[in-house]
Structure 1
């Protein structure tokens, strides 16, 4: 395999949304060079099995805030600096894209502070992967001229004024990390929104063998899905473009039930790699 420029000591890499075939060629080359990989939960175990050298040390630093099972960011920063300072090639591997709703800024700051060279390798973000695999073009002509990426993991994160503006906008709205507040999110649109023919889609475990897509009008959401606990990760799309899902959906709805991104159990990931260490909280 052709080698990358090995001057950078740390590679910050997006692994894509789930389907292991969606990782970039450049990411695969960097992963193959790694002495140490700090790996998030939302990374396909098949990526580890396919592309990681069996001698590479893999450190699980996943985040599951809803289960109070997250590795503290300062601890992750310390691990990156400690290993890079030993002259090792370090890969920080995250699901989706490295720059979308992640703590990459904290990691960039600590790398600059310690004068450690780095390279950022983007990945396909969850919004692109989920929308593509659900047959929902996010800026389809005649439906939306722009798209916004948001999060609603805390109810106080957006002001009433901003909600009102969102509710009347014709933009496609994509919400990350918001499944725990879905009922409240829908209530905001019912209170402030210009509903027209907008719909909501919840895409569970996008691009994986367990992908499921649920759609509804905003008015009918509570009746259809108000009591449902969607599987993590779930991405939410709101807008007129959701109406295109039924016509252009090309991935057969999975009849399988399961969890694709499993947590570390008893110190091991679901992977054939034998060099995995868990840093539990």
Structure 2
């Protein structure tokens, strides 16, 4: 990341963290996060992202997620003021948001508040759930011969009262990606059918997209409400409507990995668990670390030091573990020698 700019004090970096998989964070976002003095982070973010921040970094839970509760405007105003105050104190501020800050993320509201307060800011785009979640479910947004357009819409309001023109979206065709619509799935499906979309139109509901807990349901507009209700599918859910959904059978890759849906506990020391964790996660496992070991050198190093000084008298050196190798060679190298001392 040497070619990337460094974070500067008094500036707010509005960083998109992606939809769930921490590997989807951009390198620029990771750079600013690694240099932050304070991070304001949303709900649903993978906690491993916060591990990228320095140990001295203050972590502030902002608590934002889909939908807008009655007090959301007040809470947003309070958060905007916190961002302003942190920047005015000369701190390097990261506002870490799920997905992309400018796609149903209220990032624009925060940027306007910073501008009005005279605070410099930078927006680091993130991988939007609109693209990543369907891709992890094996559903392309566009596909030659099936869909040449993709429309993003929020579904958290009742279609009968919402500002969204569902009838117009029904006539538009193509792929429809619906954010925050799980509570209104039935009403949305009915509104689309009433607007002219066929009840047999393929539809998918994807819960916890891009994460090891991902759950994908296939249905049609006519059966979507019942299918989600029977599965008790709850937020966070992204819904996709359109003929592209039928490509899942051929393009699904994420949920078919060997450890998908399994939880794995690693009890090795934290220093040694990372390679194993990465391997297990690559196979789809949800990995937890609970270090039960803490490795230290011998309480009395004298016998080892004596043995190292008399290596020429030994015909064999037997190592019982990788840790034994490390505790043998570290003092050997500290004495100015290396493996050549073994003869």
- Normalising by the residue count of structure 1, what TM-score does the alignment of the two structures yield? 0.84
Equivalent residue, structure 1, for 2:217: 214
Instruction: For residue 102 of structure 1, report the CA deviation from its aligned partner.
Output: 1.5
What is the correspondence of 1:1-281 to structure 2 with a 5 Å cutoff? 2=2, 4-7=5-8, 9-49=11-51, 51-64=52-65, 72-155=75-158, 156-158=161-163, 162-195=165-198, 198-252=201-255, 254-255=260-261
Instruction: For residue 256 of structure 1, report the CA deviation from its aligned partner.
Output: 5.1
Instruction: For residue 63 of structure 1, report the CA deviation from its aligned partner.
Output: 2.2
Instruction: For residue 25 of structure 1, report the CA deviation from its aligned partner.
Output: 0.4
For 1:83-126, what per-residue CA distance to the aligned partner results, in whole angstroms no more than 9, with x for missing partners? Answer: 10000000000010111102212211121112111111001001
Whole-angstrom CA distance in 1 between matches of 2:13 and 2:42? 14
SS of aligned partner of 1:101: coil
Equivalent residue, structure 1, for 2:302: none
SS of aligned partner of 2:169: helix
Q: Which has the higher contact order (CA 8 A, sep 6+)?
A: 1
Whole-angstrom CA distance in 2 between matches of 1:168 and 1:17? 29
| Runs of 5+ unmatched residues, structure 1 | 258-269, 273-281
SS of aligned partner of 1:72: helix
| Runs of 5+ unmatched residues, structure 2 | 264-287, 291-343
Whole-angstrom CA distance in 1 between matches of 2:157 and 2:253? 33
Q: Is the 8 A contact 1:10 1:84 kept in 2?
A: yes
Go from structure 1 to structure 2 and tell me whether the alpha carbon gap of 1:60 and 1:69 turns closer, same or farther (over 3 Å shift).
farther
For 1:142-173, what per-residue CA distance to the aligned partner results, in whole angstroms no more than 9, with x for missing partners? Answer: 111110110111112245xx322222222200
Q: Is the 8 A contact 1:46 1:271 kept in 2?
A: no
Whole-angstrom CA distance in 2 between matches of 1:45 and 1:93? 12
The structure with more radius of gyration = 2
Instruction: For residue 68 of structure 1, report the CA deviation from its aligned partner.
Output: 7.5
Q: Is the 8 A contact 1:166 1:193 kept in 2?
A: no
- Normalising by the residue count of structure 2, what TM-score does the alignment of the two structures yield? 0.69
- More helix by proportion, 1 or 2? 2
Aligned residues: 257
Structure 1 stretch displaced more, 33-42 or 104-113? 104-113
Q: Is the 8 A contact 1:199 1:216 kept in 2?
A: yes
Whole-angstrom CA distance in 2 between matches of 1:224 and 1:130? 19
Whole-angstrom CA distance in 1 between matches of 2:228 and 2:31? 42
